[in-house]
Amino acid sequence: MGRLDDKVAIVTGAARGIGKAIAARFAAEGAVVVGVDVLAERGHETFTGLARGGARVDFLVGDVTDEARVAEIVAEVERDRGRIDVLVNNAAIQVEGRLHEQTVEAFHRVVDVNLLGTFLFSRAVLPAMLRQRSGVIINLSSVLGLVGDPVLPVYSATKAGILGLTRSVAVAYARDGIRCVAICPGDIDTELNDQYFNSQPDPVAFRAKVAREYPTKRIGTTDEIAGVAVFLASDDASFVNGTHVLADGGVLSRVYELET
């Protein structure tokens, strides 16, 4: 018996990184998982591999910023699977640079994928969840929704916005049996985080410096975040609503390094 037996879940940004890990863990826990991503080749490769391992999965190519395509995907999943139990809003991008270096075009790109995408998919699944009077929406925020980063100002703003949206959805739909929660990961070993490291003059040294900032002396793994998502999607978290889980290895719990 899995913790998510026969639950139908949609995971955005599922071709790689945290989304891929969440899709795999959900499937291992018995869920039917539909992955969504603009990375068609990577997505098909990922989900073909999961299916070969016996997982009940589908992959749909889709841009989370495309309102019409989002509606099509949600309608297709509900039609084919009969219900939608869990949505994981994971798709995200970032553009490195201090605020005075950022362009309006970059601002819109990051806001559209990270925040608008979360809004569009959440809005689209709510009618199905309201009909069945149950559902869980899990939003991927970040430690940068709680603190700032000098070269990720727009990304940080979107992740803070996601926390506000999470709280609003939670209080609006709790009586309808729908929960909305967020995860705030710290640095995780993903291609997106590698992009951040690679924006620095010495990526290897910078990555090592970041790892030393953590009490664990390492950054996190995608599977560690996937485990949190499984808990939040399961009935074990039935009274967890409108809040975030901070999965940061303790990095925000200290002021500065006292030990070498």
The catalytic site residues sit at 155
Return all residues near 71 (Cβ < 8 A) that are at least 6 apart: 124
* Residues 225, 21 contacting (CB under 8 angstroms): yes
d(CA 155, CA 149): 9
Tokens of 92: 């995200």
Tokens coding 203: 């990526």
Instruction: Kindly give, in sequence order, each residue whose CB lies less than 8 Å from that of residue 248, ignoring residues fewer than 6 positions away.
Output: 143, 184, 185, 186, 214, 220
The 10 Å Cβ neighbour count of residue 75 is 13
User: Burial level of 166, CB count in 10 A (0-12/13-18/19+)?
Assistant: buried
Helix (H, G, I), strand (E, B) or coil at 131: helix
* 191 token code pair: 């291609």
32 DSSP β-pair partners: 8
CA-closest candidate to residue 30, choices 1, 5, 50: 5
Count of residues for the chain?
260
